[in-house]
Copies of this chain bind each other. A is one copy, B any other.
Amino acid sequence: MAKVKKAPRPKAQTPKGFRDYFGTEVTERAHMLSQIAGVYHRYGFDALESSAVETVEALGKFLPDVDRPNEGVFAWQDEDEDWVALRYDLTAPLARVYAQHRNDLPTPYRRYAMGPVWRNEKPGPGRYRQFYQCDADTVGAPSVAADAEICAMLSDTLEVVGIPRGDYLVRVNNRKVLNGVLETMGLSDDAQRDAVLRTIDKFDKVGEAGVRELLGKGRLDASGAFIDGVGLSDDQAAPVVAFLTSKGSDAAKTLANLRDAIGASAVGAEGVGELETIAELLDAQGYGTDRIEIDPSVVRGLGYYTGPVFEAELTFEILDEKGRKRQFGSVAGGGRYDDLVKRFTGQAVPATGVSIGVDRLLAALREKGRIGSTAQGPVVVTVMDRDRMADYQAIVAELRNGGIRAEVYLGNPKNFGNQLKYADKRQSPIAIIEGGEEKANGIVQIKDLILGAKLAQEATLEEWKERPSQYEVPRGELVAKVREILGLYE
């Protein structure tokens, strides 16, 4: 007989770089987002949920002389052949929203947004193409009081989600100070200026000595390759190094060091003045340097932002994949960017904001054991007699009405062992049993699965006898007894 050829079955797989989230992975994130939203709300920020899809034009993702959007976004053409794309962050959509609705929005406009963003980048271990961001921004406020507010809010947020004071630090720097330093150095060549900026970006990795080499003749990197330097003399490079290492024992000393580094630059003086104002405002609100400090070694984002720059770092140590101790590092960053809305309207609109890496923050809390303990599954009502499903449904309804997470076993009830295996897989704390005999006698059996598992692992015969893990109670006392048992583990 000839075989009938069938169409091949589709593969049950997420696309490359995407993943699914199950159970507590979802609920713990939802809980954290709602905690963060609570803080943002208290600070007067309003929720905004923009569409996941934007025109590529609005995102600014067209490269010159190229007929399709920049890589980095997932894009396609709509029915009119116009390119649209999934948002890659929450800041570009904010600029579009503010430009579109500016007549209806208050000025300043404080808004928060949380949700997935998509990046068309090479995925890797722990690097996905869809991940959550959680942003708060103030649009239309030129005052650095807006920046100080963001820093204070970031500090409050970290404590509310469960990072205690002392385990984090919000560090503040200012792009204008760097501009002042560059001005002082008298770099007239734009290419050289850009090379200095790129070098500063490496300060995190190569440290002071490395930056000195890279600003000068060049440097052998870890792999043995020689990296060409910018070609400055030691004297020329001195202001940059002074800037990066200007952190003193308190804000006053740091500010004094910065004033030395910027020389006579006006924009530099403005930047130092802004940092001083931020420090004063935070001090007036009781935020000491144990929470927020001026730190000119913060370089992440200095190229992108136009004024104050902030970064929140977790300061406790964790073990990396190779078992070495290292600091957990950055979980949030932001700063002032004054040109985003201008693309749409022609008018510069001052804006400042912060983006929290929710997934990294969740990872930190898991690392510290603050979340991620095994979730408790539902109480499972077993099915001893498939014709009495109505009885079991009545039991489960009573339990739920008593505020207890509960379910009836809905698989094939023939094999009771499978029902207990199911309860185990569900991490159920309790199984309820009501066979024909129990029904006739008006009782139910309550099996304490957590205690049972514990006894099975640890107990001596004596303990086993003394601490029964199964109880027989009158049917009418079922809910009360289950609550009592759950109380032990809640």
Q: Interface on A for B, CB 8 Å cutoff?
A: 9-16, 18-27, 30, 34, 37, 41-44, 46-55, 57-58, 60, 74-76, 78, 80, 82, 84, 86, 96-97, 99-101, 106-108, 110, 116, 118, 129-130, 138, 140-143, 145-146, 148-149, 152, 277, 280-281, 283-286, 343-346, 377-378, 389-391, 393-394, 396-397, 400, 403-408, 410-412, 422, 425-426
Instruction: Report how far A394 CA is from B285 CA in the complex, Å.
Output: 5
Per CB-CB distance, the 6 closest pairs between chain A and chain B, nearest first, are A44-B407, A12-B99, A284-B390, A18-B51, A26-B47, A141-B410
Whether A15 contacts B411 in the complex (CB less than 8 A), given A9-B343, A10-B343, A393-B149, comes out as: no
Q: How far is the CB of A450 from chain B (nearest CB, A)?
A: 17
| A11 neighbours in B (Cβ, 8 Å) | 55, 57-58, 344
CB pair A55 B149 closer than 8 Å = no
Q: How many copies does the complex hold?
A: 2
CB pair A280 B55 closer than 8 Å = no
Instruction: Report how far A116 CA is from B49 CA in the complex, Å.
Output: 11
CB pair A106 B426 closer than 8 Å = yes
8 Å CB contact of A48 from B16, B22, B145:
B22
Residue of B nearest to A75 (CB): B76
CB pair B52 A52 closer than 8 Å = yes
| A16 neighbours in B (Cβ, 8 Å) | 78, 80
Instruction: Report how far A391 CA is from B285 CA in the complex, Å.
Output: 9
Whether A405 contacts B20 in the complex (CB less than 8 A), given A116-B52, A346-B9, comes out as: no
8 Å CB contact of A390 from B49, B129, B281, B346:
B281
CB pair A42 B400 closer than 8 Å = yes
Q: How far is the CB of A57 from chain B (nearest CB, A)?
A: 4
